[in-house]
A and B are shown apart, each in its own frame.
Chain A
């Protein structure tokens, strides 16, 4: 099983600041099957980034993804108020498909 470990657990930032979220896999992940989700309270997750670095439809360009092998990063260049949420990484290249435990981006 591919274990995804996200860091940090919580980021306390102000609007306008940048955020860097990390996801480390216990073994190499196929970049074609690596995604980042955003989840707000009471809502299901929604995809932000797929195939490691492709923004999903309607996702602003302040969100970007990168990585390969075991190390992946989600970057938010300038936080907007609506970006304060929980972010999960996921791999679905090998079964069982797995999620990271999440990074909460909270307003300082």
Chain B
């Protein structure tokens, strides 16, 4: 059974940092690009970042570039998101996900809430 389980969320103050992790089971992430996507009631779904299977050519949304760092550990089957200089606009449910639709792959975690508030 495929699972993606996010952890590390919580409540932090503006300017602080947080590190999210995503642990995969039931499949090996090494063959897939991995994404972080976030969702807020007001702004809907927002793609955050992607790291290809080889770890090169990482891409970020403009809203997080320079503050967030996506990384992966294929040996541990985990994905991470280091979030620095957090602002209230970063408050959201964060999902880790991967998709390769032609291969029947569309895997999402259940999401983890990050709240940035003073």
CB B76 to nearest CB in A, in angstroms, measures 22
- Residues on the A chain within 8 Å of B97, using CB: 44
| Known pairs A1-B62, A96-B59, A96-B62; A47 contacts B44 (CB<8 A) | no
A-B contact count (CB 8 A): 50
B101 touches A44 (CB 8 A): no
| Known pairs A45-B108, A46-B106; A96 contacts B47 (CB<8 A) | yes
B101 touches A56 (CB 8 A): yes
B interface residues (Cβ-Cβ under 8 A, vs A):
35, 44-47, 50, 59-62, 95, 97, 99, 101-102, 104, 106, 108-111
9 contacts between A and B (CB under 8 A): A35-B99, A44-B95, A44-B111, A46-B108, A50-B102, A56-B101, A88-B45, A95-B59, A96-B47
